[in-house]
Amino acid sequence: MTSGLAQPNSVPVRAQGSRARRRALRPGWVETICLTVILGLVVVVVFGPLLAPYSPNAIDAFAISAPPSATHLLGTDDVGRDLLSRLIIGARPTLLGATLIIAMSATAGTILALIAAWFGGGVDWVVSRNLNLLFAFPGLLLAILATAVFGAGLTGPVIALSLAYTPYFGRVVRSAALRERRMAYVDAASVQGVSSTRIALRHILPNVGGLIVVQASVNFGYVVIDLAAVSFLGLGVQPPTADWGEMISEGQQAILSGTPYEVIWAGAAILITVLAVTVLGNRLASRWGYER
Amino acid sequence: MSPPIVSVNQLRKVYSVRSGLGKRVDMVAVDGVSFDLAPGGSLGIVGESGSGKTTIARILVGLERATSGQITIAGHRHTEGRVGDRERRRRGQAIQIVFQDPFTSLDPRQSVAGALDEALRIKGGSTPVSRRARMAQLLSQVGLDQAFERAHPRALSGGQRQRVAIARALAVEPSVLVLDEPTSALDVSIQAQVLELLIAIRRETGIAYLFISHDLAVVRHVTDRVLVMREGKVVEEGSTADVLHAPKQPYTQLLLDSIPRSGWTPKRQPEEVSGATQRALSSSRP
Amino acid sequence: MINEALLEIDHLGVTLPVDGRPRPILRDVSLRLNAHDALAIVGESGSGKSMTARAIMRLLPEGATTSGVVRFQGHDVATLSGPSLREYHTRGIGVVFQDPRAHINPVRTIGDYLTEVLTTNLGLSQASANARVLDLLAQVGIPNAQRRLRQYPHQLSGGLLQRVMIAAALAPEPQLLIADEPTTALDVTTQADVVAVLNEQRQERQMALIFITHDLDLAAAICDRTAVMYAGTVVEEQRSTELHEHPLHPYTAALLNSRPRLEGVDTLTPIQGQPLPAWEAPEGCAFAGRCEFANDLCRASRPDLVGPPERLSACLRTVELCETLTLAVSEA
User: pLDDT category, B114, cuts 50, 70, 90?
Assistant: very high
* Residues C64-89 pLDDT 10s: 999 999 999 989 998 888 889 988 98
Residue B25: the pLDDT is 84
Q: Does the pLDDT at position B124 exceed 50?
A: yes
Q: Does the pLDDT at position A239 exceed 80?
A: no
Average pLDDT, chain B: 88
- Quick check: C299 and C288 in contact, CB under 8 A? yes
Residue A262: the pLDDT is 85
Q: Does the pLDDT at position C254 exceed 90?
A: yes
Residue C188 Ramachandran class (φ > 0 left, ψ -120 to 50 alpha, else beta)? alpha
* Nearest CA distance, A178 vs chain B (angstrom): 15
* Nearest CA distance, B271 vs chain C (angstrom): 9
Residue A188 and residue B105: Cβ atoms within 8 Å? Answer: yes
Residue B20: the pLDDT is 67
User: pLDDT category, B38, cuts 50, 70, 90?
Assistant: very high
Stretch 18-57 of chain B: residues touching chain C, C-beta under 8 Å: 48-49
In whole angstroms, what is the distance from residue A242 CA to residue B59 CA?
63
- Give the closest residue to C257 by CA, choosing from C214, C287, C294, C216: C216
- Quick check: B54 and B232 in contact, CB under 8 A? no
Residue B210: half-sphere exposure toward Cβ, Cα within 13 Å: 31
Contacts of A14 in chain C (CB under 8 A): none
Residue A126: the pLDDT is 92
More confident residue, C42 or B2: C42
Residue A23: the pLDDT is 56
| Lowest mean pLDDT segment, chosen from A68-77, C76-85, C279-288 | A68-77
Mean predicted confidence (pLDDT) in A69-78: 82
Mean predicted confidence (pLDDT) in A172-178: 91
* Nearest CA distance, A14 vs chain B (angstrom): 6
- Distance in Å from the first CA to the final CA of chain C: 45
Residue of A nearest to B99 (CA): A184
* Residues C135-148 pLDDT 10s: 989 888 888 888 88
Whole-angstrom CA distances from A33 to A28, A37, A279, C163 are 9, 6, 10, 56
- A15 touches B: beta carbon within 8 Å: yes
Annotated domain spans of chain C: 7-223, 243-331
- Quick check: B218 and C266 in contact, CB under 8 A? no
- C220 touches B: beta carbon within 8 Å: yes
When CB atoms are compared, the residue of B97, B143, B148 closest to A11 is: B148
Residue B158 Ramachandran class (φ > 0 left, ψ -120 to 50 alpha, else beta)? alpha
Contacts of A17 in chain C (CB under 8 A): 18-21
- Give the closest residue to B198 by CA, choosing from B186, B183, B184: B183
Contacts of B61 in chain A (CB under 8 A): 191
**Chains within contact range of chain B (3+ C-beta pairs < 8 Å):** A, C
- Quick check: A81 and A59 in contact, CB under 8 A? yes
Q: Does the pLDDT at position A282 exceed 60?
A: yes
The answer, yes or no, to whether the previous bond of C308 is cis (omega within 30 of 0) is no
In whole angstroms, what is the distance from residue C122 CA to residue C133 CA?
13
Residue B281: the pLDDT is 44
Q: Does the pLDDT at position A120 exceed 60?
A: yes
| Lowest mean pLDDT segment, chosen from B79-93, B144-158, B227-241, C128-142 | B79-93
CB contacts < 8 A (A, C): 27
- C64 touches B: beta carbon within 8 Å: no
Q: What percent of chain A is predicted at pLDDT more than 70? A: 89
In which element (H, E) is residue C135 found?
A: helix C126-139
User: pLDDT category, A12, cuts 50, 70, 90?
Assistant: very low
| Lowest mean pLDDT segment, chosen from A65-79, A124-138, C72-86 | A65-79
Mean predicted confidence (pLDDT) in C13-19: 88
- A190 touches B: beta carbon within 8 Å: yes
In whole angstroms, what is the distance from residue B275 CA to residue A61 CA?
95
Contacts of A20 in chain C (CB under 8 A): 19-21
Q: What percent of chain C is predicted at pLDDT more than 70? A: 99
Centre a 10 Å sphere on the Cβ of residue B242 and count the other Cβ atoms it contains.
Answer: 14
- Give the closest residue to C89 by CA, choosing from C56, C60, C61, C136: C56
Which residues neighbour A29 within 8 Å (Cβ) at sequence distance 6 or greater? none
* Nearest CA distance, B159 vs chain C (angstrom): 8
Residue A17: the pLDDT is 44
Residue A6 and residue B142: Cβ atoms within 8 Å? Answer: no
Residue C18 and residue A21: Cβ atoms within 8 Å? Answer: no
Mean predicted confidence (pLDDT) in C15-25: 87
Which residues neighbour B149 within 8 Å (Cβ) at sequence distance 6 or greater? B111, B112, B113, B116, B135, B139
Residue C310: the pLDDT is 87
Q: Does the pLDDT at position C118 exceed 90?
A: no
Q: Does the pLDDT at position C160 exceed 70?
A: yes
Q: Which CATH architecture has domain B6-261?
A: 3-Layer(aba) Sandwich (3.40)
Mean predicted confidence (pLDDT) in B120-139: 88
Q: Does the pLDDT at position B284 exceed 50?
A: no
| Lowest mean pLDDT segment, chosen from A146-150, C240-244, C277-281 | A146-150
- A203 touches B: beta carbon within 8 Å: yes
Q: What burial letters (b/e) apply to B224-235, b meaning 16+ CB within 10 Å?
A: ebbbbbbbbebb
Q: Does the pLDDT at position A31 exceed 50?
A: yes
Q: Which residues of C lie closer than 8 Å to A, measured between beta carbons?
A: 18-21, 270-274, 289-290
Three-point CA angle C243, C247, C250, nearest 5°: 140
Average pLDDT, chain C: 89
In whole angstroms, what is the distance from residue B69 CA to residue B232 CA?
14
Give the max Cα distance, chain A.
92
User: pLDDT category, B34, cuts 50, 70, 90?
Assistant: very high
More confident residue, B82 or A180: A180
Residue B204: the pLDDT is 94
Q: Which of C110, C155, C160, C268 to mutate to test the interface with B (most CBs of B within 10 A)?
A: C268
Mean predicted confidence (pLDDT) in C10-17: 93
ipTM, interface predicted TM-score of the complex: 0.87
Q: Does the pLDDT at position A271 exceed 80?
A: yes
The full DSSP string for C223-250 is -SEEEEEETTEEEEEEEHHHHHHS-SSH
Residue A1 and residue B101: Cβ atoms within 8 Å? Answer: no
| Lowest mean pLDDT segment, chosen from A113-122, B47-56, B93-102 | A113-122
- Sheet with C7-18, edge to edge strand ranges: C21-33, C7-18, C65-72, C75-76
Q: Does the pLDDT at position A53 exceed 90?
A: no
Q: Does the pLDDT at position C114 exceed 80?
A: yes
Q: Does the pLDDT at position B117 exceed 60?
A: yes
Residue B276: the pLDDT is 45
Residue C143: the pLDDT is 83
Q: Does the pLDDT at position A18 exceed 70?
A: no
Residue C236: the pLDDT is 95
Which residues are registered as beta bridge partners of B227? B45, B237
When CB atoms are compared, the residue of B188, B268, B269 closest to C214 is: B188
- B190 touches C: beta carbon within 8 Å: yes
Residue C218 and residue B49: Cβ atoms within 8 Å? Answer: no
User: pLDDT category, C18, cuts 50, 70, 90?
Assistant: confident
From the number of C-beta atoms within 10 Å of its C-beta (0-12, 13-18, 19+), residue B160 rates as buried
Q: Does the pLDDT at position A15 exceed 90?
A: no
Which residues neighbour A74 within 8 Å (Cβ) at sequence distance 6 or greater? A68, A82, A83, A84, A87, A261, A265
Contacts of C38 in chain B (CB under 8 A): none
Q: Does the pLDDT at position A152 exceed 80?
A: no
Torsions phi, psi for A155 (to 5 deg): -55, -55
Centre a 10 Å sphere on the Cβ of residue A116 and count the other Cβ atoms it contains.
Answer: 24
Residue B101: the pLDDT is 92
Does domain A29-42+75-257+270-288 sit in CATH 3.60.40.10?
A: no
Q: Does the pLDDT at position A9 exceed 60?
A: no
Residue B282: the pLDDT is 45
**Which of 3.40.50.12780, 3.40.50.300, 3.40.50.2300, 3.40.309.10 is the CATH number of C7-223?**
3.40.50.300
Residue A1 and residue B148: Cβ atoms within 8 Å? Answer: no
Residue B76: the pLDDT is 82
Which residues are registered as beta bridge partners of C39? C210, C225
* Residues A195-220 pLDDT 10s: 888 888 888 888 888 889 888 988 99
* Nearest CA distance, A28 vs chain C (angstrom): 17
* Residues B147-159 pLDDT 10s: 999 999 988 989 9
Contacts of A16 in chain C (CB under 8 A): 18-19
Residue B207 CA from chain centroid, whole number: 14
* Residues B202-217 pLDDT 10s: 999 999 999 999 999 9
- B244 touches C: beta carbon within 8 Å: yes
User: pLDDT category, A22, cuts 50, 70, 90?
Assistant: low
- Quick check: A224 and A161 in contact, CB under 8 A? no
- Give the closest residue to A173 by CA, choosing from A228, A233, A124, A139: A124
In whole angstroms, what is the distance from residue B130 CA to residue C265 CA?
41
Q: Does the pLDDT at position C316 exceed 60?
A: yes
- B264 touches C: beta carbon within 8 Å: yes
